[in-house]
Structure formats: C-alpha cells, structure tokens
Amino acid sequence: MIAGAARADGALLLDAALESIPYGFCVWSADFHLVMWNKHYLDIYGFPARRIEKGMTLEAVVRLSAEMGNHPDQTPEEFLAAYKADLLTNRSGLRAKVRELVDGGRTIETAHVYSPGLGWVVTHEDVTEEIASSEIVQRRKWELEQQNLRLNAVVNNIGQGLCMYDARGRLVVCNAPYARIYGLPERLLQSGTSLEDILAHLFDQGMKAGGDRDAYLRWRRDVSARGEFGKTIHELNGRIILMQQHPMKDGGWVSTHEDITEQRQQEARIAHLARHDALTELPNRIQFLEEMASIEPALTRGHQAAVLCIDLDHFKDVNDTLGHAIGDKVLKQVAARLLGTTRETDELARIGGDEFSLLLRQVAGPADAAAIAERITQAIGTPFNVDGHQVVIGASVGIAMAPADGDTTDQLMKNADLALYRAKADGRSTFHFFERGMDEAIQHRRTIEAGLRLALARNEFRLVFQPLVGLKEDRVTCFEALIRWDHAERGTISPADFIPIAEETGMIVQIGEWVLREACQVAMTWPTDARVAVNLSTVQFKNKRLFETVVAALEESGLPPTRLELEITESLLLADNEPTLATLHKLRALGIRISMDDFGTGYSSLSYLRSFPFDKIKIDRSFMRDLEQKGDSLAIIKAVIGLGHSLGMTTTAEGIETEEQLAAVREQGCNEVQGFLFSPPVAPTRSSPCFARKKTTGCAAPSDPH
C-alpha cells in the first residue's frame, strides 16, 4: 500500500501489483521507517490497517507486533535487536531468511534484500504448512530407518537362518545365522545369487537332503513354483538343519533354517530313556517285547530261540538291610555279570525291580539254553562286594523254548514266567524249563494264596498233635502241634502245600501267632508233665515282635515256659543273624526249649549246632526211610546222636514207622522218637493224651476214651 493522498496512476499500478503478490511485502527505509506494505503483510501479522502508517519506526511496528501476540518467546527489544542485526549484516543484498513465531503457532519466513535507493525490501511468507509437510516426510523417513534398524537387529540376532528369494529364485536378502549355519562364503550371500548356485555349493560340501541332488532341486523348484509351504531336513557336517519354505504373495519365498542337532540329540536321548533302564542302561520291557515281536515271523517258520526270565533271590533283603543305594549298586553289578554271560546275538533287558529277561535268538536246542541258565545262576550266586559289604544273592531262571513252548511274545513270556515260578519253588538259585501243566499248578497256588488271606477270619485252621515218645521214660513226653487247613472247597490242605506260600506272602506271621496261642491253650488241658512243641518259621523271626508274641501266648494261657518247645530249622541260622540269635537266647532264658527240626535236610552244617545251645535235635525222617537201603543213613544217624550226646542235646528220631527203625535208633542211643508207629497227628483231647506206649503196637491215639 502506498500511503499518500495524491495517487498517480503509476502508484495505483504499483498498489495493484503489490496487492497481487501472494505474500506479505514491506519496505523499510535505511533508517528503519516503514515506506510501503501490502495487505498480506497486515494479515500475516494481524495488524489492524488503521494502526499501520507510513513512516512508522521499526521499533513501533515491533511493539505492535508483540501486542498482537507475535514472537511470544522474545521481548520486543530482543526481537528488534536480532532483526536489526540480521538486516544490517545482510545489507550486501544477499537474501537471508528469518523465521518468526507469530500468534497461533504459525511460522513466517522473511526474506530481505537491501536496495541502496529504497532501503530494505522484505517479503513475509507463511511457511507453516510447508514446514509441517516436510516435517512429516522427515519423520516418516526417520521412522522407516528405525524400523529397518530394528528389523535388521532382529533378523541377524535370531538363531534361525533366514533368507528371502524373489519369484525367479534369486536371493534378495539373508541374515548372518543363515550364512553361519551353512558356512556359506561371502560371494554366495550377495543379493541376486540363485538358489541353484547356493544348493550346488552345499551339495559339493557334502550336504544331504534326502534323495539325490537333482531330485531335491526339482522338489524345491516345484514347491516354489506352486507357492506351497515346504519343509525338509538338511544334514551337513554332522549338523541337522530344519529348512522351512514359506511362500510370499509376489511369487518369492522366505526360508528359515534351524540347526536342530541338539534338539534331535535330546529327542534321541528321550527315546533311549523310554526304551532303556536308567540304572543299568539295559533295554527295558518295552524294548525287549519289541525285539521279541520282531522274531515272531521267524519262530512261526520253525526258527529256534529261547526266552529266559531271571529273578534275583533274596534281593529284597539287600534293600531292606543295606538300603536302596547299595541295592542299586548290586543291580548294576548284576547287569554287568549277566551281560558277561550273553553273546552278541542275545538281548538282555531289565524288566522290573529285580527281574531281567534274556532272549537267545540263536539256540540249537534246550541244552544251549540250559548252559546259559547255568552260567547265570553261577555268576549271580557268586558273592558281590559292594562298598565293603559282602552281598550274597542268587538268581532263579525260568526258560521257555520257541517255538516248542509258543511262538508269540505273550505265550513265551508267560511260559518263561511260569517256569521261573517253579524254579523259585524248587528252592531258588536254579533254573527250570517250562512244562505243560505248569499253568494249572500256578493257578492252584494262586487259589491257595487268595484263600489263605481269608482262612484265619473264617476259622478254617485247626491244630492236630503228634506225640513224641521218650524212650528212657517209655511214655509220651511231648506233643508236636501241626496245623491243618480245612478249605471250604478243597478239603483239608497239608501244611507242606500252604506253609511255603504263607511264608512267601508274610501271612505266616499271623498264622504262627494263632498256632502259638492255640497250642498253649490246648496244652493247658493236659497233665502238667506233657510239653507242647510248636514249629516256627524263619520268616517269623523277621518280625521284631516274635519274642513278645511268644510271651503273650504263654501269659494268656498260663502255660509255664518249661512246657513249651519251639522247633526251628537250619535255614534260620543260614545267615549269621545277630538279632535272630538274640531272640533265641531270650526265649531259652525263659525256660523254653529250642529244637533243631528236620536236621540233615538243609545245609547240614554241624557248625549250626555250635552256634546255639539247642535243647533238642530232631533227625529228619528221610534218614529213617533210607535206613534199610542205605548204609550211610545209619552212619549219619549214629554221628548225629553221638554229637547230640556230647553237646548235651536230646536227639529225636522223626518218622519212625517200623519196629526195625525203632530198634535201630534205640540201639544208637536216641532219646526220643516220633512217627506213625506210635501215632499220626490227631485232634486234641482235653483230658487223656496217651502217655503209656503199648509195647509193640505203638501209642494209642490221644483221643478221649470217654
């Protein structure tokens, strides 16, 4: 706007030109008075037209500007000083830009040029939008850079190899792990490298990828061409790499490469654990059954094999007395010894706590299997030394021959198990072949086992008594209590049939307690010089309360201890067991007599007789049976009787059935006899067991004559 009343046409023209300029415009004289301006100038700074006039000082305009709220972060003086300095230093005519903050947060850019005739010609442009849009671009760029940086960090820091291919199968980008996993040289990592080139290099390095090289390349191409997901395993230099190819929309793909060697090893270890026993490292039941199953077809064709079920004897005692840590060490040594008895083609497994199985894939016949079973019982029967402990166990072995005893895994395992059962029943540390009919025998045994659990409650036990006759006294001195079981369906069952089972299951403890109480009570009904003998099982001594049980039976019945005899067998003294001997001594100290029953049948070590001061030795009846045929039986009887005399022990001959036997033992100086010649075991009577032996016919049954 050109101020002044008179306007020339030229001035009007200038005015119009000024107003048409799309930015603010003003001119300052050399001494900083306003010369001219246009409307944009007023609008930009919000100056009311009436307050701007020609000749106004820069100072006045700046103050007005401050009043309008412009450059709020500077005082008018500061602004003025800076502005003037800027104009003055750039007087040379160079354009300089000054940014001002005006009210409303807008940014105005000024450019000035000094013209010597006119002064400073200044243009003012609102650049708020321009700046804003360029800032957005800058920000986007920055964000993109950040994102790329982050992506780069992620891509190179994940363990997996990652690479991207375009639709033509050319490498676009790959990360460091990719190069590392495959040991790829730098030249193959450049973008543009073809997948074919990379794979060719890897195959040259010895990579395996299932199938041959061409087939693999074809497969990769097909998967890419069809845009499908693909997955395969590469093997290179002992490493296992999982490759997965994920299609992209543009026809290219991203592949991931993961070194799964450790994972595979772990899996292999887990698979191994699932099929092996952790303690001995031997195959377990699962593995064993699978191996068995794998030879079934050969067995059906008549191929011979043998299955051995091996069970340790007395292993529970090791655990109970020495603890599980020692037990474990014994098992490890057992496994090693068993392995030593096997051949390359055999399969040995641990299938339970102290149970092992052995598959002999190649045998000519039962003799081969027997030889190995023999080796096993010997190897395990040899004492073990574990942490300074001498451990004596044994092994019982059951053998099933294939295909004679079955050609399926199930049958063979079952039959070998039945044979094992028999080997155990045969006194352990031995082996037994499967025989037809074993099944029924086992069934019978199981019935007994089940019935035994109920027998006490059902009152199915009763005692019978067999007299022992003193030869010097010529009368009955004692009655031996013998148990009978009246089974509801099977009739009376002999103790020989159920006592061993009661011992194995531990039920003998309760049954024995009942026998003791019952025998003492019955004996109380007899004349006071008749004793009662009660058989005690070795298993009963394992019960710490045995002594108390005996005392209780005596107290309850009122029977004096001197009228009680306890019969034990040699097996009790097999293990030199301090607590057992202590119990025996305590019982004997009460006045109870202790007899050694069935002497000569077991281990027949005369040293047992020295380990405890027995009151009586009962010579087993097998010697009487053989008396007439075998001369050495008489010699043994003679020796035992002699020994008994010298040790101050009574000797009793069991199983006297004939007058000849009686005469023979009497002649040797035997003190006491027992047998059918006098009386079989009979039901107890209240008042008159037989006391006087009839001279030739034996003793009358202790039945009540009344």
* Contact residues: ligand C2E, CB under 6 A: 466, 482-483, 494-496, 499, 512, 515, 535-537, 567, 597-598, 621, 654-657, 674-676, 681
Residue 23 or 676 with smaller CB distance to ligand C2E: 676
Classify residue 39 by burial, with Cβ atoms within 10 Å: 0-12, 13-18, 19+: middle
Binder of residue 523, out of ligand C2E, Mg ion, none (CB less than 5 to 8 A by kind): none
Output the smallest distance, CB 532 to Mg ion, in A: 12
Considering the complex, state which of residue 40 and residue 618 has its C-beta at the smaller distance from Mg ion: 618
Half-sphere exposure of 133 (CA within 13 A, CB side): 3
Q: Pick one of 193, 396, 535, 580: the residue that binds Mg ion (CB under 5 A).
A: 535
d(CA 696, CA 659): 8
The one of ligand C2E, Mg ion, none whose footprint includes residue 220, by CB under 5 to 8 A per kind, is: none
Q: Which does 161 bind (CB under 5 to 8 A by kind): ligand C2E, Mg ion, none?
A: none
Binding partner of 451, given ligand C2E, Mg ion, none, CB within 5-8 angstroms per partner class: none
Between 417 and 598, whose beta carbon lies closer to Mg ion?
598
For residue 476, the partner it binds in ligand C2E, Mg ion, none, with Cβ less than 5 to 8 A by kind, is none
Size of the site for Mg ion (CB under 5 A): 5
Strands (E), 33-118: 34-37, 96-102, 106-115
Nearest distance, CB of residue 455 and Mg ion, angstroms: 20
Nearer Cβ to ligand C2E (36/519) = 519
* Shortest distance (Å) from residue 563 CB to ligand C2E: 17
- Closer Cβ to ligand C2E, 58 or 665, answer by number: 665
Cβ at position 480, least distance to ligand C2E in Å: 6
Residue by residue, what is the 3-state secondary structure of 443-489? HHHHHHHHHHHHHCCCCCEEEEEEEEEECCCCEEEEEEEEEEEEECC
Task: Indicate the residue among 415 and 537 with the shorter CB distance to ligand C2E.
Answer: 537
Closer to ligand C2E by CB, 512 or 602: give it: 512
> Which one of ligand C2E, Mg ion, none interacts with residue 655, CB within 5 to 8 A by kind?
ligand C2E
Minimal distance, residue 311 CB to ligand C2E, in Å: 24
**Smallest gap, in angstroms, from Cβ of residue 673 to Mg ion?**
13
CB of 466 to Mg ion, least distance (A): 9
Please choose, out of 73-81, 508-516, 532-540, 585-593, the segment that lies near Mg ion by the rule CB under 5 A.
532-540
Least distance to Mg ion from the beta carbon of 567, Å? 4
**Toward Mg ion, which CB reaches closer, 184 or 568?**
568
Query: At closest approach, how far in Å is the CB of 335 from ligand C2E?
Result: 36
Residue 349: partners with Cβ closer than 8 Å, 6 or more residues away: 277, 282, 283, 284, 285, 287, 288, 291, 356, 357, 358, 359
Give the span between the Cα atoms of 438 and 46, in whole angstroms: 119
Q: Does residue 347 contact residue 295 with C-beta atoms inside 8 Å?
A: no
Please say whether the dihedral angle defined by the alpha carbons of residues 327, 330, 336 and 340, taken in this order, is positive or negative: negative
- With CB under 5 to 8 Å by kind, the binding choice for 495 among Mg ion, ligand C2E, none is ligand C2E
3-state secondary structure of 524: coil
Tell me the closest approach of the beta carbon of residue 443 to Mg ion, in angstroms: 29
**Residue type at 627?**
L
The single-letter code of the amino acid at 84 is K
| Partner in contact with 594, chosen from Mg ion, ligand C2E, none, beta carbon below 5 to 8 Å by kind | none
> Least separation, in Å, of the C-beta of 681 and Mg ion?
10
Minimum CB separation of residue 482 from Mg ion in Å reads 7
351 binds, among ligand C2E, Mg ion, none (CB under 5 to 8 A by kind): none
Q: Which does 350 bind (CB under 5 to 8 A by kind): Mg ion, ligand C2E, none?
A: none
Judged by CB, which is closer to Mg ion: 87, or 483? Answer: 483
The least distance separating Mg ion from the CB of residue 670, rounded to whole angstroms, comes to 15
68 and 103 Cβ atoms separated by less than 8 Å? yes
Residue 592 C-beta: closest distance to ligand C2E, Å: 16
Q: Which is nearer to ligand C2E, 296 or 657 (CB)?
A: 657
Looking at residue 620, the DSSP 8-state letter turns out to be: -
Residue 149, CA distances (Å) to 153, 154, 254, 256, 361 in order: 6, 9, 19, 20, 65
HSE-up (13 A, CA, CB side) for residue 541: 26
C-alpha R_g of the chain = 56
DSSP state of 347: E
Sequence-ordered list of residues with C-beta below 8 angstroms from that of 508, at least 6 positions apart, any chain: 499, 502, 537, 539, 540
Instruction: Please report the sign of the dihedral spanned by the C-alpha atoms of residue 293, residue 297, residue 302, residue 304.
Output: negative
Q: Least distance (Å) from ligand C2E to the CB of residue 534?
A: 7
Burial tier of 625 (Cβ tally within 10 Å: 0-12, 13-18, 19+): middle
273: Cβ contacts below 8 Å, ≥ 6 apart:
none
The residue (of 100 and 654) whose beta carbon lies closer to ligand C2E is: 654
Q: Residue 120 has which token pair? A: 């400073």
515 makes contact, choosing from Mg ion, ligand C2E, none, with CB < 5 to 8 Å by partner type, with: ligand C2E
Q: Which of Mg ion, ligand C2E, none sits in contact with 496, Cβ below 5 to 8 A by type? A: ligand C2E
Alpha helix stretches (DSSP H) within 205-323: 213-226, 261-275, 285-300, 315-322
What is the per-residue binding string for Mg ion in 595-624, x denoting contact by CB under 5 A?
--xx--------------------------
Query: Closest by alpha carbon to 342, among 369, 372, 308, 298?
Result: 372
Which of Mg ion, ligand C2E, none does residue 538 bind to, with CB < 5 to 8 Å depending on kind? none
By Cβ distance, which residue is nearest to ligand C2E?
675
Spell out a b/e string for 140-154, using b for 16 or more CB atoms within 10 Å of the CB, else e: eeeeeeeeeeeeeee
- Which region among 43-51, 214-222, 555-563, 654-662 touches Mg ion (by CB under 5 A)? 654-662
Query: C-alpha distances in angstroms, 665 versus 78, 176, 632, 650, 651?
Result: 144, 100, 14, 13, 10
Interaction mask 546-585, Mg ion, x per CB under 5 A: ---------------------x------------------
Instruction: Pick left, alpha or beta for residue 453 (phi over 0 → left; psi -120 to 50 → alpha; otherwise beta).
Output: alpha
Cβ-based nearer residue to Mg ion, 423 or 468: 468
Closer to Mg ion by Cβ: residue 334 or 609? 609
For residue 288, with 0-12 CB atoms within 10 Å meaning exposed, 13-18 middle and 19 or more buried, which class applies?
buried
- Partner interacting with residue 407 (select from ligand C2E, Mg ion, none; CB below 5-8 Å by kind): none
| Residue 166 contacts residue 145 (beta carbons within 8 Å) | no
Q: Report the residue number, 162 or 677, with the smaller CB distance to ligand C2E.
A: 677
How far apart are CB 396 and ligand C2E at their closest, in Å? 22
- Given ligand C2E, Mg ion, none, residue 685, with its beta carbon under 5 to 8 Å by kind, binds none
Given the complex with ligand C2E, which of 674 and 685 has the nearer CB atom?
Answer: 674
The partner in contact with residue 675, picked from Mg ion, ligand C2E, none with C-beta cut-offs of 5 to 8 angstroms by kind, is ligand C2E
Nearer to ligand C2E by Cβ, of 535 and 671: the residue is 535
- Both tokens of residue 475? 């009368």
DSSP secondary structure letter of residue 437? T
Reference 346, options 338, 334, 358, 354; nearest CA is 358
Chain contacts with Mg ion (rule: CB under 5 A): 535, 567, 597-598, 654
